[in-house]
Amino acid sequence: MNTVTENIQLEFDMFAEAERLFSELEATSTSTIGITREAYGAGEQKAIEVFEAYALKYDLETSFDGAGNLVIVLPGIDRNAPCIACGSHLDSVPQGGNFDGAAGIVAGIISLARMRHESFAPACDLKVMAFRCEESAWFGKPYIGSCALLGKLSQDDLEARQRDGKETLAEAMERCGADLDRILAAESLVDPKSIAAYLEMHIEQGPVMIARDLPTAVVTGIRGAIRHRKITCLGRAGHSGAVPRWLRQDAFFATAELISALDEHWRVLLERGLDIVVTSGIVKTNAAVHAMTRIPDEITFSLEIRSQSTDALEAFYHLMETECNNIAKERKVSFQFDRKLYTAPARMNERWIERLKDISERLSMTSELIPSGAGHDAAVFANAGIPTAMIFIRNENGSHNPEESMEIEDFIKGTEILYHAFKEPL
Amino acid sequence: MNTVTENIQLEFDMFAEAERLFSELEATSTSTIGITREAYGAGEQKAIEVFEAYALKYDLETSFDGAGNLVIVLPGIDRNAPCIACGSHLDSVPQGGNFDGAAGIVAGIISLARMRHESFAPACDLKVMAFRCEESAWFGKPYIGSCALLGKLSQDDLEARQRDGKETLAEAMERCGADLDRILAAESLVDPKSIAAYLEMHIEQGPVMIARDLPTAVVTGIRGAIRHRKITCLGRAGHSGAVPRWLRQDAFFATAELISALDEHWRVLLERGLDIVVTSGIVKTNAAVHAMTRIPDEITFSLEIRSQSTDALEAFYHLMETECNNIAKERKVSFQFDRKLYTAPARMNERWIERLKDISERLSMTSELIPSGAGHDAAVFANAGIPTAMIFIRNENGSHNPEESMEIEDFIKGTEILYHAFKEPL
């Protein structure tokens, strides 16, 4: 039996399968610089077609859930038993990389294909869930595909517009076949009890595993976030040459003071051992009126605070509000905030963490534990009470940029862990 | 004689003429918010047509100089004698006001119309020069129409692109009938000796005259400027959740630190009595790639420093360079500068300052002296060695914004001064 399995394994070339799939995925990009797969757009749709075709080739079942996410199934012996699922997301940020999201889907689908190739029949259904719209770059909120599936979208979320301003999330989802009535009712489109576990393999999006020389790692938890997609600082316009400093209400100088103050708070809190990262990724004056010789009366910027600790998130947010109030008073400007988006930090399941460590060690792979700085669909499953775990793959140059770079050797190591986690009953 | 003149003056209703002209000018705007007269574009062209029609009505000569600026002449008895000119600019900033620039042209043309109406024949030609493209909002550099006339444009200036990126200055000027060969050769299209004086009436663009209750004032000098239309701060992109503070190369946090540092230097230098204003009117992350969850690797911003003192300009610029170097080293970012645009401070002619003061006092008007924070075409004439002077009109809410607001009563007072300065031989 062992010999037979090993022979079959030799025939299923995971390396070649992965390279082919990643190369097909690269061709789905709609940008020439980096990879762009727009959520509910052309890039994401093409990626779905790549995965559907691959699943078909290996006689796996394909369908779409009520939120328009692709689901690929290797049927189990008992089709009514709770399934084991793995998944990740189809979309990328604009001009991002090929692996952020897609790697987890490729790992899952190759694992199922390999079992099919080996004629392995699992005890329960094994599913790959390929989610739409995980990246907040598109509609401001992250994990939209998984949130829709688990009944976690609000009316406000559904009214958010795509970054090009054209379509609301509700319109985009409806166009892609989602069951809007049930999503609007915040109904879970799947019974959480029908999922015994949700596993997600993902590239690490920070520099830790490169620095510590870890091809794979097991994730302990996922940072939560407080976000504002758009904060507007309003001052007063004026001729740049003719208004003295004391009469100015300069929206950019006010915003620069805010960012510098937040940077200093951040530095101090890190010294006290708090887990925090702060980012303002989008900033702009009003292009319809701005000019080199016009004191800017309006600047808009995004703000994101992430932490593994809910307390640290709230404390930093409070500091930010205090700074805004002080600066507004001092500089005679005002700060207006759009909706506060909150994503709770998530803990991974202890039993599954141990299991993934055990499998890693049995396969003679590294089994270190690291936290996830980035958010993932896994956080939505964990916070819905579904036992959830993650495997990280080493990745150079971070993600959300075209230089994102994962070695296929590392990917295969992670996929081996996922394959065994899938195959061996808990 | 006196009685006759006064009768005729009663018949020429400057107030009604001004209101009609300003209302026709308001209709030239190409924007619904505020007034937009694009340089070398539709708004400017329509303003030219308004002034041409008005000149025709009063039998004034109209022509275009070699730079495409409109020139309106009341012929003098000795047509070979050096003329007295007044002027200002046709264009506005995007979504600016109706008076910035246009008021000076209206004042000049109404003065000539009134003399024609009075059958007054001046000793020398009296000219109104209506300049194109004074606002740097369009091609980055200010005073382009007057610079072109006086041979002060460089090859680099002519290669600058309009703010929409489509057309170069050379292309725009050629389209509007300018003699590009002579302008490229930096040839003065007019003999400076043929202009005995250049006068310019303009709204004040700062809050000083409102604060000091001065309907009109005489200008002592004009602030010069050092400008960069675009400074680029380059860092490194990364996932907002996954890169710790010490590994970040955040272009926005670096730029915020720079602006905050410049604000502090500015505050300190003002306490030491230096004349300085600092503005960054345009700032933006790269819209093609920016996202709330992406550490920004690129931010661009404009920077402008103005002062009546060349030394203060250079000193502040040096401080800015030093800060950029320190921040670049500390945060592992780089700052890239486009062409440094320099506009020299300008002094007004002492004899003309006294003359305008005398006329003001004779007309029982205020005759206070104030400096000009904003730049004007007058600076180009002054720095070309032509005796130059300016009259300021009180104006509420500053300029370069739609709330710019001048009382017609104040405008008439300034126009009376201009009329007498024009009419009475020096």
Q: Which string of DSSP letters, residue by residue, matches A311-368?
A: HHHHHHHHHHHHHHHHHHHHHT-EEEE-PPEEE--EEPPHHHHHHHHHHHHHTT----
d(CA A244, CA A242): 6
Please tell me whether residues B335 and B299 are part of one structural domain. Answer: yes
Give residue B425's pLDDT: 64
Please tell me whether residues B335 and B351 are part of one structural domain. Answer: no
Q: A217: buried, middle or exposed (CB in 10 Å: 19+, 13-18, 0-12)?
A: buried
Picking from A321, A343, A365, the residue at the C-terminal end of a domain is A343
| pLDDT tens-place string over residues A209-265 | 998 899 999 999 899 999 999 999 999 998 899 888 988 999 999 999 999 999 999
Please tell me whether residues A155 and A50 are part of one structural domain. Answer: yes
Contact residues, chain B, for A256 at CB < 8 Å: 255-260, 263
For residue B61, CA distances in Å to A292, B57, B58 come to: 36, 10, 9
Q: Is residue A125 helix, strand or coil?
A: coil
- CATH no. for residue A356? 3.40.630.10
Please tell me whether residues B338 and B281 are part of one structural domain. Answer: yes
Q: Is residue A236 helix, strand or coil?
A: strand
Strands (E), A167-313: 195-203, 216-222, 224-234, 238-239, 277-279, 283-285, 294-295, 298-307
Q: Which amino acid is at A151?
A: G
Which residues form the domain of A258?
225-343
Q: Are A253 and B259 an interchain contact pair (Cβ–Cβ within 8 Å)?
A: yes
**For every one of its 426 residues, what pLDDT tens digit does chain A have, with 9 covering 90 and above?**
444 445 444 579 999 999 999 999 999 999 999 999 999 999 999 999 999 999 999 999 999 999 999 999 999 999 999 999 999 999 999 999 999 999 999 999 999 999 999 999 999 999 999 999 999 999 988 999 999 999 999 999 999 999 998 999 999 999 999 999 999 999 999 999 999 999 999 999 888 899 889 999 999 989 999 999 999 999 999 889 988 898 899 999 999 999 999 999 999 999 998 889 999 999 999 999 899 989 999 999 999 999 988 999 999 999 999 999 999 999 999 999 999 999 889 989 999 999 999 999 999 999 999 889 888 999 999 999 999 999 999 999 877 788 889 999 999 999 999 999 999 866
Give residue A239's pLDDT: 86
Contact residues, chain B, for A238 at CB < 8 Å: 205-206, 398-401
Q: Are A280 and B294 an interchain contact pair (Cβ–Cβ within 8 Å)?
A: no
Q: Are B375 and A241 an interchain contact pair (Cβ–Cβ within 8 Å)?
A: yes
Q: B57: buried, middle or exposed (CB in 10 Å: 19+, 13-18, 0-12)?
A: exposed
Q: Are B279 and A223 an interchain contact pair (Cβ–Cβ within 8 Å)?
A: no
Give residue B207's pLDDT: 84
Q: Are A296 and B280 an interchain contact pair (Cβ–Cβ within 8 Å)?
A: yes
In three state form, how does the secondary structure of chain B look?
CHHHHHHHHHHCCHHHHHHHHHHHHHCCCCCCCCECCCCCCHHHHHHHHHHHHHHHHCCCEEEECCCCCEEEEECCCCCCCCEEEEEEECCCCCCECCCCCHHHHHHHHHHHHHHHHCCCCCCCCEEEEEECCCCHHHHCCCCHHHHHHCCCCCHHHHHCECCCCCCEHHHHHHHCCCCHHHHHCCCCCCCHHHEEEEEEEEECCCCHHHHHCCCEEEEEEECEEEEEEEEEEECECEECCCCCHHHCECHHHHHHHHHHHHHHHHHHHHHCCCCCEEECCCEEECCCCCCCCEECCEEEEEEEEEECCHHHHHHHHHHHHHHHHHHHHHHCCEEEECCCEEECCEECCHHHHHHHHHHHHHCCCCCCEEEECCCCHHHHHHHCCCCEEEEEECCECCCCCCCCECCHHHHHHHHHHHHHHHHCCC
Cα-Cα end-to-end distance for chain A: 22
Give residue A343's pLDDT: 86
Give residue A397's pLDDT: 83
Number of alpha carbons in the 13 Å side-chain half-sphere of residue A186: 7
Give residue A175's pLDDT: 96
Contact residues, chain A, for B95 at CB < 8 Å: 288-289
Contact residues, chain A, for B297 at CB < 8 Å: 401
Please tell me whether residues A113 and A160 are part of one structural domain. Answer: yes
For an interface test with A, give the residue of B294, B298, B393, B403 to mutate (most A CBs within 10 A): B294
Please tell me whether residues B95 and B64 are part of one structural domain. Answer: yes
Enter the tokens of residue A307.
Answer: 């932490």
d(CA A265, CA A286): 28
ipTM of the complex: 0.72
Q: Are B242 and A206 an interchain contact pair (Cβ–Cβ within 8 Å)?
A: yes
d(CA B303, CA B335): 13
Contact residues, chain B, for A289 at CB < 8 Å: 33-34, 94-95, 401
Strand-strand pairing, B216-222 and B369-372: parallel
Please tell me whether residues B114 and B200 are part of one structural domain. Answer: yes
Torsional sign, CA A210, A213, A219, A224: negative
For an interface test with A, give the residue of B239, B249, B343, B393 to mutate (most A CBs within 10 A): B239
Q: Is residue A244 helix, strand or coil?
A: coil
d(CA A1, CA A4): 5
Q: Which chain B residue has the Cα nearest residue A243?
A: B206
Please tell me whether residues A322 and A382 are part of one structural domain. Answer: no
Q: Are A256 and B243 an interchain contact pair (Cβ–Cβ within 8 Å)?
A: no
CB B250 within 8 A of CB B235: yes
**Nearest-CA distance B119 → chain A (Å):** 40
Q: Are A400 and B259 an interchain contact pair (Cβ–Cβ within 8 Å)?
A: no
Residue A277 dihedral angles phi and psi, to the nearest 5°: -135, 145
Torsional sign, CA A127, A139, A96, A368: negative
Strands (E), A34-189: 61-64, 70-74, 83-89, 126-131
Nearest CB among A240, A282, A399 relative to B290 is that of A282
Contact residues, chain B, for A304 at CB < 8 Å: 240-241, 292-293
Q: Are B242 and A398 an interchain contact pair (Cβ–Cβ within 8 Å)?
A: yes
**Nearest-CA distance B371 → chain A (Å):** 10
Give residue A3's pLDDT: 45
Nearest CB among B135, B243, B372 relative to A398 is that of B243
Torsional sign, CA A287, A230, B246, B259: positive
**Nearest-CA distance A23 → chain B (Å):** 23
Q: Are A304 and B293 an interchain contact pair (Cβ–Cβ within 8 Å)?
A: yes
Q: Which chain B residue has the Cα nearest residue A287?
A: B282
d(CA A334, CA A298): 10
The β-bridge partners of B86 are B128, B199
CB B295 within 8 A of CB B244: no
CB B386 within 8 A of CB B151: no
d(CA B193, CA A62): 86
Q: Are B374 and A241 an interchain contact pair (Cβ–Cβ within 8 Å)?
A: yes
| pLDDT tens-place string over residues B303-340 | 999 998 899 999 999 999 999 999 999 999 999 999 99
Classify the phi-psi angles of A384: left when phi > 0, otherwise alpha if psi is within -120 to 50, otherwise beta: alpha
For an interface test with B, give the residue of A31, A219, A240, A290 to mutate (most B CBs within 10 A): A240
For helices A14-26 and A42-57, what crossing angle results, to 10°? 150
Please tell me whether residues A7 and A131 are part of one structural domain. Answer: yes
The position carrying tokens 């309106």 is B72
Q: Are B306 and A240 an interchain contact pair (Cβ–Cβ within 8 Å)?
A: yes
- CATH no. for residue B302? 3.30.70.360
Q: Which chain A residue has the Cα nearest residue B345?
A: A241
Cα-Cα end-to-end distance for chain B: 22
Give residue B168's pLDDT: 97
Q: Are A280 and B253 an interchain contact pair (Cβ–Cβ within 8 Å)?
A: yes
The pTM of the full predicted model, rounded to 2 decimals, is 0.72
Q: B373: buried, middle or exposed (CB in 10 Å: 19+, 13-18, 0-12)?
A: buried
**Nearest-CA distance A274 → chain B (Å):** 12
**What b/e string do you get for B297-307 counting C-beta neighbours within 10 Å, with b at 16 or more?**
bbbbbbbbbbb
d(CA B46, CA B53): 11
d(CA A183, CA B350): 77
d(CA A415, CA A420): 9
**Nearest-CA distance A120 → chain B (Å):** 38
Give residue B7's pLDDT: 47
For residue A115, CA distances in Å to A7, A63, A112, A419, A425 come to: 13, 19, 5, 9, 14
Please tell me whether residues B62 and B135 are part of one structural domain. Answer: yes
Enter the tokens of residue A373.
Answer: 């700085």
The number of distinct structural domains making up chain B is: 2
Q: Are B242 and A94 an interchain contact pair (Cβ–Cβ within 8 Å)?
A: no
Q: Are B399 and A283 an interchain contact pair (Cβ–Cβ within 8 Å)?
A: no
Please tell me whether residues B168 and B121 are part of one structural domain. Answer: yes
Contact residues, chain A, for B277 at CB < 8 Å: 240-245
Q: Which amino acid is at A365?
A: M
Q: Which chain A residue has the Cα nearest residue B96?
A: A289
Q: How many CB pairs under 8 A join A and B?
A: 271
Q: Are B373 and A243 an interchain contact pair (Cβ–Cβ within 8 Å)?
A: yes
In this structure, chain B runs to a length of 426
Q: Are A296 and B283 an interchain contact pair (Cβ–Cβ within 8 Å)?
A: yes
Give residue A416's pLDDT: 97
Positions in chain B short of pLDDT 70: 1-10, 425-426
Please tell me whether residues B70 and B216 are part of one structural domain. Answer: yes
**What b/e string do you get for A125-158 counting C-beta neighbours within 10 Å, with b at 16 or more?**
bbbbbbbbbbbbbbbbbbbbbbbbbbbbbeeebb
Give residue B2's pLDDT: 45
Q: Are B240 and A400 an interchain contact pair (Cβ–Cβ within 8 Å)?
A: yes
For an interface test with B, give the residue of A239, A253, A268, A297 to mutate (most B CBs within 10 A): A239
**Nearest-CA distance B265 → chain A (Å):** 12
Q: What does the angle CA B297 – CA A130 – CA B296 come to, to the nearest 5 degrees? A: 5
For an interface test with B, give the residue of A293, A305, A393 to mutate (most B CBs within 10 A): A293
**Nearest-CA distance A306 → chain B (Å):** 6
Picking from A325, A343, A361, the residue at the C-terminal end of a domain is A343
Q: Are A292 and B229 an interchain contact pair (Cβ–Cβ within 8 Å)?
A: yes
Contact residues, chain A, for B140 at CB < 8 Å: 292
Nearest CB among A267, A285, A291 relative to B93 is that of A291
Picking from A298, A328, A343, the residue at the C-terminal end of a domain is A343
Give residue B426's pLDDT: 62
Give residue B263's pLDDT: 98
What is the C-alpha R_g of chain B? 23
